[in-house]
Amino acid sequence: MTFDADLTACAQLVERGDPDRFAATMAAPVAARKVLFPIYAFNIEVSRAPWVTKEPMIAEMRLQWWSDALEEIASGGLVRRHEVVTSLAHVLDAEAARHLQRAVSARVWDAYRHPFEDSAAFSQYIEDTAESLLMAAAQSLSGQTPDALKHLGYASGLARFLQAVPDLERQDRIPLVDGRADAVRDLAKDGLDRLRKARALRNAVPPAARPVALAAWQAGPILKQVAANPSRVGDGTLGTSEAAKKARLMWQAATGRW
């Protein structure tokens, strides 16, 4: 598979819509980029779908379109023509497509203004929207879905979600089940615990799947910031400098550690 017009369009979509994942993907081997760019482009399209309309039913219809496209890929039948869907069809097997369908279903929450029912529902959302991407990518690259990447996906997804809290609140959403400082700190500690579990299992990740972990390179620093000072979530001050981000990504790409 070469970088044809569709795959190039996926890369450009990721570059514009998710610069951090773009940087992480560019740090991966070229062969891995051909898998990662379509999956991350899909994530941008699906994550945007609930926000382009104020009508929840229309948002659900947009999400259903993506679910149907993934079903076409999973079933091995005729796949609709679309630059992202066509690129996905080249790299996903049925199992990987099912992982991405979890992400589509979870995004229904974004279409409404209801809070999460409880902590379990919140955790499930993080797993379905973040862990699922790593599972689909690992399956596509190596035919395996290592537990280390499940834990890493959750930690990374949680860090990204906590960074998005101020934007969600500006959209009149209720992103956290419990916004008190101690509860937010506990969330971060749980994410750091998942990160420790991922590290303990790192050696079991097959070499072909290891580039998947690059997208999670900021999870540790961000979760540590929240654990130390939960108010940074509401203040929107999470994150590190561009120089620190670049140095950490280079270190992870060189060492294969996270």
Contact 105, 67 (CB under 8 A): yes
Summarised one tens digit per residue, pLDDT across range 35-44 is 999 999 999 9
pTM of structure: 0.96
Summarised one tens digit per residue, pLDDT across range 96-117 is 999 999 999 999 999 998 999 9
CA 224 – CA 221 distance, rounded (Å): 5
Q: How confident is the model at residue 258 (pLDDT cuts 50, 70, 90)?
A: confident
CA 109 – CA 131 distance, rounded (Å): 17
Asked if the model's pLDDT at residue 57 lies above 90, the reply is yes
State residue 77's pLDDT score: 87
The DSSP letter of residue 231 is H
31 Ramachandran zone, left/alpha/beta (phi>0; psi -120 to 50)? alpha
Tokens of 219: 């999870």
Average pLDDT on 63-80 reads: 96
State residue 1's pLDDT score: 53
The DSSP letter of residue 127 is I
Tokens of 123: 């955790």
Average pLDDT, the chain: 96
Summarised one tens digit per residue, pLDDT across range 142-171 is 999 999 999 999 999 999 999 999 999 999
CA 51 – CA 56 distance, rounded (Å): 9
State residue 54's pLDDT score: 87
Residue linked to tokens 């060492």: 255
- Contact partners, residue 115, CB within 8 Å, separation at least 6: 174, 177
Asked if the model's pLDDT at residue 187 lies above 60, the reply is yes
Q: How confident is the model at residue 3 (pLDDT cuts 50, 70, 90)?
A: confident
CA 65 – CA 50 distance, rounded (Å): 12
Summarised one tens digit per residue, pLDDT across range 201-216 is 999 999 999 999 999 9
- Contact partners, residue 237, CB within 8 Å, separation at least 6: none
State residue 113's pLDDT score: 86
Contact 212, 254 (CB under 8 A): no
Please report how many Cα atoms fall inside a 13 Å half-sphere around the Cα of residue 89, on the Cβ side: 19
Q: How confident is the model at residue 222 (pLDDT cuts 50, 70, 90)?
A: very high
In order of 109, 115, 152, 169, 176, the CA distances from 118 in angstroms are 13, 8, 22, 18, 9
Asked if the model's pLDDT at residue 252 lies above 80, the reply is yes
In the chain, the domains with their CATH numbers are: 5-255 (1.10.600.10)
Asked if the model's pLDDT at residue 250 lies above 80, the reply is yes
Asked if the model's pLDDT at residue 2 lies above 80, the reply is no
Tokens of 7: 């795959």
